Amino acid sequence: QEYTAIKCKVKQWSEQAQRILEGKIPADANIYMVPATLRPETMYGQTNVFVSPAITYGIFRVSETDFFFVTNRAARNMAFQGIFTGLDWGIVQRVVELSGSDVIGSTVSAPLSRQGEVYVIPMDTISETKGTGVVTSVPSDSPDDYAMTIELSKKADFYGISSEWVSLELLPIIDTPNHGNLIAPTLVKQMKINSPKDTQRLAEAKEQAYKVGFYQGTLIVGEFSGMLVQDAKNLVRQSLIDSHDAIEYCEPDGRAISRSG
Ligand code: ZZB
């Protein structure tokens, strides 16, 4: 699987994370949360970053000055892809371990997004064995993200967050002939999905959103506005990589990797 890993630079740590990191990382270090996405063309619509409160993450050394916040598993994969400099092939250097719950309420940069800076909020359904365990929220085009956003905004207290952290600003970024320019809310409402726990219908909605977005979508924001998603996808990706806002991140398919950890 070939992902685009977006470098979302930490702007402000939550208080809990600050306490844990105290003295462990140089004050002038660049630390990035690194969501892995299959849809780089949707980065214009990022509104939040999700982590799982139940997953243990680490902050890993990338270079003298840079560090990534990802799962242990993702860091191990990255170590085989030349992403970490100054270390031997396959070697990771974890500076500190953190739970997803420690970093909720932090803010990070969101490259290409209109908001620029977004809050880190919780998502229970993140899989530890996929991507980096960090997910960028695009509620306009991802049914999972839309469902979770609504859930969190309704039940902020239950999730132990401030409702102000949840961005309800839906930005139309891709237009489609039959599903309008906010496909995720459209499908979630059509399919009567009421909760992020409705995983079966969310999986169907996701599959449909992928297909319609890719085959019929037209980008309506940004440098490549007016182009078909099919044509613009790799251009947006390359542009993010060229500006050092993203890197390529791959993982082997299937079970071999998840079995080993
Ligand atoms: C931004 C985005 C915008 C995404 C969109 C999707 C969509 P898949 O399809 O199952 O292979 N994701 C990434 N890592 C994880 C994880 N560990 N656990 C749960 N979800 C994860 O999953 C790839 C997509 O699922 C990624 O692409 C990411 O969300 C999320 F408009 O990034 B995506 C119709 C989907 N639209």
59-72 residue pLDDT tens: 999 999 999 999 99
CA dihedral 61, 48, 190, 175 (to 10 degrees): -90
Question: Is residue 176 in a domain?
Answer: yes
Write out pLDDT tens, residues 190-216: 999 999 999 999 999 999 999 999 999
- CA distances (Å), origin 222, targets 114, 115, 173, 245: 10, 14, 9, 15
Please check the confidence at residue 43 and state whether its pLDDT lies above 50: yes
- Report ipTM (2 d.p.): 0.98
- CA distances (Å), origin 189, targets 77, 158, 193, 202, 215: 38, 23, 6, 11, 22
Please enumerate in sequence order all residues whose Cβ is within 8 A of that of 47, keeping only pairs 6 or more positions apart, or say none.
110, 113, 115, 118, 137, 138, 139, 149, 167, 169, 170, 171
Residue 80 alpha carbon to ligand 1 centre in Å: 23
Please enumerate in sequence order all residues whose Cβ is within 8 A of that of 39, keeping only pairs 6 or more positions apart, or say none.
138, 141, 142, 213, 233
Q: Please, which pLDDT band fits residue 35 given cuts at 50, 70 and 90?
A: very high
The answer, yes or no, to whether any atom of ligand 1 lies below 6 A from the CB of 204, is: no
The residue whose CA has the least distance to atom 25 of ligand 1 is: 37
Please check the confidence at residue 259 and state whether its pLDDT lies above 50: no
Closest CA to 145 of 72, 237, 50, 249: 50
The answer, yes or no, to whether any atom of ligand 1 lies below 6 A from the CB of 173, is: no
Is 169 in contact with 185 (CB distance < 8 Å)?
no
The answer, yes or no, to whether any atom of ligand 1 lies below 6 A from the CB of 130, is: yes
Q: Which atom of ligand 1 lies at the shortest distance from residue 38's CA?
A: 27
Question: Is residue 261 in a domain?
Answer: no
Residue 88 alpha carbon to ligand 1 centre in Å: 30
Question: Is residue 107 in a domain?
Answer: yes
The answer, yes or no, to whether any atom of ligand 1 lies below 6 A from the CB of 188, is: no
Question: Is residue 57 in a domain?
Answer: yes
The residue whose CA has the least distance to atom 1 of ligand 1 is: 37
- Rounded average pLDDT over 15-28: 95
The answer, yes or no, to whether any atom of ligand 1 lies below 6 A from the CB of 126, is: yes
pLDDT value of residue 199: 97
The residue whose CA has the least distance to atom 9 of ligand 1 is: 38
Residue 135 alpha carbon to ligand 1 centre in Å: 7
pTM of the prediction? 0.96
**Structural domains in the chain (count):** 1
Please check the confidence at residue 180 and state whether its pLDDT lies above 50: yes
Q: What is the CATH number of the domain that holds 98?
A: 3.90.740.10
Q: What whole-number percentage of the chain has pLDDT above 90?
A: 95
Please check the confidence at residue 257 and state whether its pLDDT lies above 60: no
- Rounded average pLDDT over 89-104: 98
Question: Is residue 230 in a domain?
Answer: yes
Question: Is residue 106 in a domain?
Answer: yes
Question: Is residue 96 in a domain?
Answer: yes
Question: Is residue 138 in a domain?
Answer: yes
Measured N-to-C along each axis, helices 143-154 and 199-216 cross at an angle, to the nearest 10 degrees, of 130
In terms of residue numbers, what domain contains 250? 2-254
